[in-house]
Structure 1
């Protein structure tokens, strides 16, 4: 077994275990911090898949942005709201969750059957790409092209999205503040 396979299994186990903890935990703050671990493990899996840009984007966008936004939501929400959410009785398996469980099981059955039947190396489009030499090698630098396009051709949409996200954060903070008692 190679080092890459060992790293894959370790990162996969960390991602799955922390994701299960996020879904099953009663303490919301601990759940958010385990979500942090899940996102970092997924970034590690992207690095192993030679998708460095996606890994960096995962860390910057999800860990740096979305997770901080979730933490802000917890900090801005009242303690009473968090206590009510945590004190709710949650049976792990009950009748109201049956449709979601059935849908998840059917999804995994379809994925399992599809993965057992597919042979990626025998697909026509893969054979054509290999024959034409139209493949991405590990030493190919594509991140430069993404960065150049992001800072030239797509600069205006990039800045517009950042301003929109800032407005959303300010609006969320404004909506979550408590009104003065009269």
Structure 2
């Protein structure tokens, strides 16, 4: 096993462990900082995939935008809102059943859609060429972003908007009557 593979596997393991800890951490501040680790290690994996522009863009957008916005929202939220939050005990409760059923239904729907689609024979995938090691990645990314990957690009923009709305909701102060 080469050194490059060891470094890649290190970043892959770091991504998986930190993402797991982000979801399961009880402390919100630690969870936000572990999300920093997840984003940086994912960017390192993009560098190994020869997607240098995507790695830099991910660091600039997520770390520079979303995470800083989340930190400011946390810092600007009033103490009464944070002290009123209840500590959730781990474990499965009956109230989680609806969420689990919805997630299971969506998973079945997505699995059915992906397994029934003939992805290899789609015309917009057949026409595209693989990006070589010496190709201009920024030019290829521009072409693929506006043709092949337009839907994921729009999903990311909706995600960023949801993060902005969530951070603004956390940061606003409720007026007392």
TM-score category (smaller protein):
0.5 to 0.7
Q: Distance in 1 between matches of 2:100 and 2:174?
A: 38
1:98-141 Cα shifts (integer Å, max 9, x gaps): 45456369949x87xx8xxxxxxxx678xx97xx9943211212
Correspondence list, 1:1-182, <5 A: 1-85=1-85, 87-101=86-100, 103=103, 107=107, 134-143=129-138, 172=168, 176-177=172-173
C-alpha change, 1:177 and 1:48, in structure 2 (3 Å) is same
> CA shift at 1:14, angstroms?
0.7
C-alpha change, 1:141 and 1:176, in structure 2 (3 Å) is same
- TM-score, scaled relative to structure 1: 0.62
Paired residues in the alignment total: 147
- Give unmatched runs, 5+ long, in structure 2: 115-119, 143-156
Structure having greater relative contact order (Cα 8 Å, sep ≥ 6): 2
**Is contact 2:51–2:137 with CA below 8 Å preserved after alignment?**
no
Q: Distance in 1 between matches of 2:81 and 2:44?
A: 35
C-alpha change, 1:105 and 1:30, in structure 2 (3 Å) is farther
Choose 1 or 2 for highest CA Rg.
1
C-alpha change, 1:146 and 1:13, in structure 2 (3 Å) is closer
> CA shift at 1:2, angstroms?
2.1
- Give unmatched runs, 5+ long, in structure 1: 115-122, 148-160
